[in-house]
Amino acid sequence: MDEPMAYIGRCPECKHVIFASADTPNNKKELAKDVGDCIKSGLEIERMSFEGVRKATWGHDPQCKYKRR
């Protein structure tokens, strides 16, 4: 069985993950919109496993202009 995947949005400055959404068949339309919004706002997008998302550095640098979604 394939490992579940997700898309994340990472701040290009502090590199913290501030957005994540599961990449599932039921979620394709909403995911595309959310990822598009993240790209428009300047976040770096990456596709990774759920395990990678859990292990990623989540947080927020107080000086970061992006807010966690």
Cβ proximity of 49 and 58 under 8 Å: no
Total domain count for the chain? 1
Q: Does the pLDDT value for residue 1 go beyond 70?
A: no
Task: Look up residue 28 and give its two tokens.
Answer: 């394709």
Q: What is the largest CA-CA distance in the chain?
A: 41
Cβ proximity of 53 and 18 under 8 Å: no
| Average pLDDT for 14-41 | 93
Q: Is residue 64 part of a domain?
A: no
Q: Is residue 67 part of a domain?
A: no
**pLDDT in the model for residue 24:** 93
Q: Would you place residue 19 in the very low, low, confident or very high pLDDT band (cuts 50, 70, 90)?
A: very high
Q: Does the pLDDT value for residue 52 go beyond 80?
A: yes
pTM of the complete model: 0.84
Per the structure, the complete domain to which residue 35 belongs is given by 5-55
